[in-house]
Structure 1
Amino acid sequence: MDLTIALILLQDGILNGAIYGLLGLALVLVFVVTRVILIPQGEFVTFGALSLAFLANGRVPGTAHLLVLMGVLVCLVEAVSCWRARQWRGYGRTLGWALALPLALEALAPLAAGPDVPLALRVLFALALVVPLGPMIYRLVYQPVEQASVLVLLIVSVAVHFALTGLGLLFFGAEGWRTPALVEGTVQIGPVAWTAQTFAVLATCAALIGGLWLFFSRTLYGSALRATAVNRRGARLVGISTRVAGSLTFTLAAAIGALSGMLIAAITTIYYDTGFLIGLKGFVAAIFGGLVSYPAAAAGALFVGILEAFSSFWASPFKEAIVFTLIIPVLLWRSFGSVHLDEED
């Protein structure tokens, strides 16, 4: 291996590591607030990438129909809950975001898939189709069992993953797709030409991380999420709704996942089940931070990306095994240095 090959592999590793870092941050965010290990995070990646790919190819994405279906289910579940409580205040808001918004997006989808629509608008429309799925999944699946143990929530996450994978096959088909690059061109750095897409991915990741930092440090909702992450029982005692916190967290996770899918779909073919492996690598990165540390998760993601890139050169058939085997020593190291804590501590 010469210097040129090493720099090319480093470029690929940094690019993939940035994507894994975003997913790792989303997984840590969801876990510290809701105690849910969000295995379906990869499905948000898939749905975001395939939605943009369908729009770019002049087709209405399946998420437009899936969103309406999920919205109808949310409205029905919420209606039953309001009827049992004899309290209908707030149901109009549910009809607005869970039914009216999906129907409007489904009506606009043919226009977004039309010719001469700028890529930036298609990206925003694809985000609008995928992001509401986050709070909808939380309301339908996780909110009814929010007080369950971490193990039960993990089993539920596995079930949601398989359900969303099947829905992905139903609404998108088994064909693989790619999206157009967000930025065309190359930048020559030393002996290697770095693609402009790489810098676009890194800039997007940096902007997103900076935006999340501002959200958590400067906004009321961000402070509420931080309080819920520190102590769920204490947050409830001071009037912070853990259900609102959970819904907001799933919204952020869906947005991060969908955007990550659009970034990575320009450099690799995305199938209906591709998101699982990508999300699993983000989970390996999150494990580096013990599912609680954002900086450690980001550092772990870069390490995972670079390890994967160099493994593909030295031992391509075993690159996935090498990456996932990495989780074993990390778990051992953390198990030796950890102490038992109750879930609310």
Structure 2
Amino acid sequence: MDLQIALILGQDGVVNGAVYGLIALALVLVFSVTRVIFIPQGEFVAFGALSMAMMQAGKVPATLWLLIALAIITLVVEAWRHQRGQAVDWASTAIWALAMPALASALVWLAKPEALLLQAAAVLALIVPLGPLLYRLVYRPLAHATVLILLIVSVALHGVLVGLGLLFFGAEGFRTPAFSDARFDLGGIPVSGQSLVVIAMAAVLVVAMFVFFERSIVGKALRATAMNRVGARLMGIPTELSGDLSFALAALIGAVSGLLIAPLTTVYYDTGFLIGLKGFVAAIVGGLGSYPLALAGAVLVGQLEAFSSFWASAFKEVLVFTLIIPVLWWRSLNSRHVEDEE
């Protein structure tokens, strides 16, 4: 290996690490607020990329029917809760179960945009509401369950979404057009415009999340919920709405990640699983609680994957996932063991 090859592999590692970093941030956010280890995060990535591919082919993405079905079920469940005398926030329900599906239907079914950016906006309108709707139907009834039970439910939901992905999109893989066709030569190293778009969008999302959590009232409410759910509820913060918002942000990050990687690699219905697992490894490096450490872990995972593909391509996945063992061992030695109920 010479310096030029090392620099090319390093560039690939940075691009991959940027995507894994976004997934890791979403996982840390959801776990901090809801205690859910959200295994299906990768499905948002695959659904976003494949929905974009279907729009490029002039078809209506099947995820639209999934969104409409979840919205109808959510409305029925909320009406049932209201009938039983439970408090229902109809304003947020109207946003996630009526306004967003109506917007997605108008963009995808009626407008049928042909411009790349408009199609990307339509995909975001399709995928983002799936997060809050899944939270309301699957996780909110189990809000007081243990982390282990929530993890088991996440694994089951992952299986359901992968099956739906196969039903919606088939076993064939797809790619989408790049957002930038530019080509650069930096010191003899070829750099694609799409790679720069991935890194730039990841940086923008990281900065936006930092500003959101540090400067906005809603972001501070989410941080308070993550630190002390009971205390946040006593201070008047609606923790159920915090779950809606955290899942919406996770779906947004997943959809953006899918749009970014689809021009770089062929995406299949189950591609999101491996991407989500690598993001999970990065999140574990950060202890599922630190955003900067999760980003650092994502860069480490991306670099390890890139250089492993050169030295031992047949074992690159094994080497990446083996990284979690020393990290967990180190954290086990340096943490106080408590029961989940504590």
Q: Same fold (TM over 0.5)?
A: yes
Alpha-carbon distance, 1:105 to partner: 2.5
Alpha-carbon distance, 1:343 to partner: 5.1
Matches within 5 A, 1:67-78: 67-78=67-78
Match of 2:61 in 1: 61
Deviation per residue, 1:46-101 (Å, 9 max, x gap): 111111111122111111111101111111111111110176x6436524531353
Match of 1:105 in 2: 104
**Residues of 2 paired with 1:108 and 1:301: CA distance?**
34
Contact 1:65 1:106 in 2 (8 A): no
Comparing 54-63 with 127-136, greater Cα deviation is found at 54-63
Match of 2:322 in 1: 325
Match of 2:20 in 1: 20
Deviation per residue, 1:217-241 (Å, 9 max, x gap): 1111101001011111111111111
1:37 aligns with 2:37: yes
Contact 2:24 2:298 in 1 (8 A): yes
Size of the aligned set, in residue pairs, is 342
Provide TM-score, normalisation by structure 2: 0.96
- CA gap 1:95/1:32 in 2 versus in 1, 3 angstroms: closer
Match of 1:264 in 2: 261
Match of 2:240 in 1: 243
Q: Secondary structure at the match of 2:185?
A: strand
Alpha-carbon distance, 1:321 to partner: 0.5
Alpha-carbon distance, 1:110 to partner: 3.6
Deviation per residue, 1:195-217 (Å, 9 max, x gap): 11111111101110111111111
Q: Secondary structure at the match of 1:290?
A: coil
- CA gap 1:219/1:104 in 2 versus in 1, 3 angstroms: closer
* Sequence identity percentage: 59
**Residues of 2 paired with 1:340 and 1:40: CA distance?**
27
Contact 1:127 1:255 in 2 (8 A): yes
Unpaired segments ≥5 residues, structure 1: none
Unpaired segments ≥5 residues, structure 2: none
Contact 1:56 1:113 in 2 (8 A): no
Match of 1:290 in 2: 287
**Residues of 2 paired with 1:343 and 1:316: CA distance?**
39
**Residues of 1 paired with 2:340 and 2:35: CA distance?**
8
Matches within 5 A, 1:39-188: 39-85=39-85, 90-91=89-90, 94-113=93-112, 117-188=114-185
Contact 1:53 1:177 in 2 (8 A): yes
* Runs of 4+ residues deviating >6 angstroms: none
Contact 1:281 1:324 in 2 (8 A): yes
Provide TM-score, normalisation by structure 1: 0.95
Alpha-carbon distance, 1:265 to partner: 0.9
Amino acid at match of 1:57: A
Q: Secondary structure at the match of 1:178?
A: coil
**Residues of 1 paired with 2:248 and 2:106: CA distance?**
22
Contact 2:96 2:133 in 1 (8 A): no
- CA gap 1:249/1:146 in 2 versus in 1, 3 angstroms: same
